[in-house]
Amino acid sequence: MAKAILYDATKCTACRACQVACKNWNEREAVDTINRGTYENPLDLSTQTWLKMEFREIGDNGTFRWLFTRRACMHCTDAGCVKVCPTGALYHHDEGFVAYDKAKCSGCGYCVEFCPYSVPRMDTNRASGLGRMDKCTFCAAPGLDRIDAGDEPACVKTCPTGALTFGARATLLAAAKARVEDLKAQGHSDAQVYGENEVSGLHVLYLLDDSPETYGLVVNPKVPAAAAAHDVIKPLGYAVAGVVALGLLLNIMVARARIISREEEKK
């Protein structure tokens, strides 16, 4: 059964306990931060920061309120990163979300280029020029797998207000839609669920009391068309690699046969 995380923006206080829990469980390092005139820190996602809470000030006719947006991997069903990953480091878990095995990453950077949400981040070694990608793994990384152990992702576990919940995607979606009707009855005419159909369905659903663009979410996200070409080319690449490997094996066998033949002639 497909699993998902539901983020209820109306319950979030931006305490950022989720950010801390994510770093703690996934063994991410703290990053230097400075006061930029905002409560947001750090500035953006990175290989060490997989989850970041964004703050938005909304004012109209003398009113003011905060909007908080959870920024992390959206775990798309039609995931551009999975389509273009040449090594299989990125793949769909049996529960539907986008899992990641960093040990298989070649550092090609295609996932960074083809993500419609601009989430993956590369960390390039200046000396070698080689890099590795990092992003939210849904707490299912090898050796740090909470999902396989039957537990919730760390961010969900630590949320003190219930803004984050984890469970069967269909169940969470139904609950979110019911909550939308309640919000509309309270006067939030733009209340909606984001993620039901975006990129064929997200495994991080958003319950909003305003429009997605007001929350800074991508409206009608699309995986670049070129990703489909990569998806087609990948198996061709595997086939070419197989042909090359077979050719090398045949060369070795032929060379070995010649050596044996020459040794027999000497006898």
CATH of the domain at 24: 3.30.70.20
Check whether residue 26 and residue 132 sit in a common domain.
Answer: yes
Check whether residue 43 and residue 175 sit in a common domain.
Answer: yes
Distance CA 93, CA 2 (A): 9
Check whether residue 128 and residue 203 sit in a common domain.
Answer: yes
Q: Is the pLDDT of residue 251 over 70?
A: no
- pLDDT band of residue 32 (cuts 50, 70, 90) is confident
Check whether residue 55 and residue 95 sit in a common domain.
Answer: yes
Are the CB atoms for 19 and 49 separated by under 8 Å?
Answer: yes
Check whether residue 117 and residue 233 sit in a common domain.
Answer: no
Check whether residue 72 and residue 187 sit in a common domain.
Answer: yes
- The residue range of the domain holding 243 is 225-267
Check whether residue 23 and residue 87 sit in a common domain.
Answer: yes
What's the total number of domains in the chain? Answer: 2
Q: Which helix (H) or strand (E) covers residue 125, if one does?
A: none
**For the chain, what percent of residues have pLDDT higher than 70?**
84
Check whether residue 149 and residue 240 sit in a common domain.
Answer: no
pLDDT at 237: 47
Q: What is the mean pLDDT of residues 13-18?
A: 96
Distance CA 53, CA 40 (A): 7
Q: What is the mean pLDDT of residues 113-121?
A: 96
pLDDT at 197: 97
Are the CB atoms for 78 and 88 separated by under 8 Å?
Answer: no
Q: Is the pLDDT of residue 243 over 60?
A: no
Check whether residue 182 and residue 171 sit in a common domain.
Answer: yes
Are the CB atoms for 107 and 133 separated by under 8 Å?
Answer: yes
Check whether residue 232 and residue 211 sit in a common domain.
Answer: no
Check whether residue 2 and residue 96 sit in a common domain.
Answer: yes
Q: Is the pLDDT of residue 127 over 90?
A: no
pTM listed for this prediction: 0.84
